[in-house]
Amino acid sequence: MNQKPNHENEKKSGLFSWKLLAGLALMAVFLWLAFRKIPLGSFIDTLREVSLLPLAAAAAIVVLSIVLRGWRWKIMLASSQPELKKRYAVMATGVGYAVNLAIPRGGEVARAIFLKRIASTSLVAGLSSVLAERLIDVVSLCVLFVATLSLYQHQLEGVFPGVGRGMFFAGLLAMGGFAVMWVISRNPDRTSGWIGKILYRFWPSQAERISGWEESFSLGLGGGFVRKNAPAMIALTAGIWLLYIAANWTIIFAFPSTRIASLTVLDICAVTVVVAISFSLPSPGGTGTTHFFVSQMLTGIYGIDPAHALAYATLLHLVGTVPALLLGGASAMFMESVKTSEAS
């Protein structure tokens, strides 16, 4: 009787293994591309000369951006979980970031599961709200990219051929997803009925088992389109991107005696766009992709020494990931302590 579930678990485990291996392979390829022509001695010497205080300040800014992300996620879940505490959403967001460092996209599922365990939220609403959040991120990235492209179009296309076309199609897909979410938010009850009918029509064997999920799915997916929450959603989304730019800009002061220190805020806006694209690729935690694309941009557009450019990209990646790893680890430990106290 248990053969079918075991078989399904084996299939999921196999798919997970292949995704993990593919992510590691992608990471290895981009790390090789980033480091293959860089004199390691010069790279290490550059790292030895950096100032630590700007890195600490940038790390603090990254932590603040995670707090804003958790706050925004709480607002998106307000329709399905109005009593959700902000700190739980922030902790779950940290866990998601930490898991993404090892498993590409795994953090999106992990944080919804973590939030369910620590705050008894709906897993379906959590997952659908994460999907909605990612669409918001893509649309806002496209807006920032268009603003950047107006200043750096020829330079970006010269270093990364086809990047404009790729972002154009990504923006179209994201806007289509936005339109779907808007329809859902306008009438979640009707949407729930549509989902139920589709399930019974095309997946009748599972329709009964997942009956009742439709409302949670609709509430989670449409949570970002509740009119009264719009000002907070817009302000938090803008704040998140401003903090990303601020963190990346602060890091340049760790290189006071190099050309990196002469980069302007507008230059860092362009760097932030490239960083976001690098993290969107299925490499664990943006490792390798960030090193390669950011260093190529700094060298190709601004003429920065390759060793200095790679050192900046490396520290930018560390500053963006280590705080998330620490916050995620602390959150996981907190959950274990809560479970232990409840058991006793």
Question: Across residues 254-271, what is the average pLDDT?
Answer: 91
Distance from C-alpha of 27 to C-alpha of 20, rounded to nearest angstrom: 11
Collapse the DSSP code of 203 into the 3-class scheme (helix H, G, I; strand E, B; otherwise coil) and give the result: coil
Q: Which of 131-140, 184-193, 233-242 has the lowest average pLDDT?
A: 184-193
Q: What is the pTM of this model?
A: 0.85
Q: Does residue 102 surpass a pLDDT of 90?
A: no
Q: Are 340 and 309 in contact (CB under 8 A)?
A: no
Q: How far apart are CA 53 and CA 319, in angstroms?
A: 12
Q: How confident is the model at residue 107 (pLDDT cuts 50, 70, 90)?
A: confident
Contact (CB, 8 A) for 216 and 122: yes
Question: Can you give the C-alpha Rg of the chain in angstroms?
Answer: 22
C-alpha 109/C-alpha 78 separation (Å) is 19
Shortest CA distance to 299 belongs to which of 310, 286, 314? 310
pLDDT 10s digits, 280-311: 888 988 999 999 999 999 998 889 999 999 99
The answer to whether 98 and 92 have CB atoms below 8 angstroms apart is no
User: 272-281: per-residue pLDDT in tens?
Assistant: 999 998 998 8
Residue 213 has pLDDT above 90, yes or no: no
